[in-house]
Structure 1
Amino acid sequence: MYIIAIAWIYVVFMMAITETSIVAGIMTFLLYGVLPVTIIVYVMGTGQRKRKRHAQEMQRRAEIQKSEEAKAAASEPPSQT
């Protein structure tokens, strides 16, 4: 995924270099290169961020369950045999 973004930035950089003025070159680089690539990389990473957030939530739930089990075990009176 990143190789395509890098290639596109390179192409746009080459386009920006050929512009007649510095301002036009900077605007070309920002509007044709940086802005679209950041949007696409953000959208493409949505699934990964969602999976990571879900895994963290599951880990938190497991930790809470472990602590509740430990508290329950600690509060039980010792059994006499």
Structure 2
Amino acid sequence: MHLVVIAWLYVALMMAVAEATNTNGTVLGAVFTFLLYGLGPVALVVYLMGAPGRRKAIRAREAAEREDAMRAAAAPSIAPDAGSETAADAIPPVREKT
């Protein structure tokens, strides 16, 4: 895949150089030639070809998160109010003397 991308960009670059060095060509035309024949299509193809890999990474991340959530739900909790006891302060509140 990388070889095709490099070759396509090389051909587009040579087209841009030919445009810039031609007697009727301009540097602005060479820039647009490289952008529209080189970078634009290559960026689109690379993005589209990478979609399955991104989708697979998202599914793997979601599966890992789901597994962590299931593991956390199955593990005994050590929180003080996780059982049937009510939560209470360690030190009882003291009222001010008036």
- In the superposition, the TM-score normalised over structure 2's length comes to 0.71
Root mean square deviation, CA, Å: 1.8
Provide the rounded CA distance (Å) in 2 between the counterparts of 1:8 and 1:22: 20
Which portions of structure 1, spanning 4 or more consecutive aligned residues, are displaced by more than 3 angstroms?
71-76
Pick 1 or 2: higher relative contact order, CA cutoff 8 A, min separation 6: 1
**Highest CA radius of gyration, 1 or 2?**
2
Letter in 2 for 1:4: V
Provide the rounded CA distance (Å) in 2 between the counterparts of 1:71 and 1:36: 54
* Identical-pair percentage: 37
- Equivalent residue, structure 1, for 2:66: 61
1:15 and 2:20 aligned: no
Deviation at 1:2, TM superposition (A): 1.6
- In the superposition, the TM-score normalised over structure 1's length comes to 0.86
Consecutive unaligned residues of structure 2, counting only runs of 5 or more, are 20-24, 84-98
Deviation at 1:73, TM superposition (A): 8.9
Provide the rounded CA distance (Å) in 2 between the counterparts of 1:35 and 1:50: 23
Consecutive unaligned residues of structure 1, counting only runs of 5 or more, are 77-81
Aligned length: 76
Q: How does 1:1-80 map to 2 (within 5 A)?
A: 1-19=1-19, 20-71=25-76
Higher share of residues assigned helix: 1
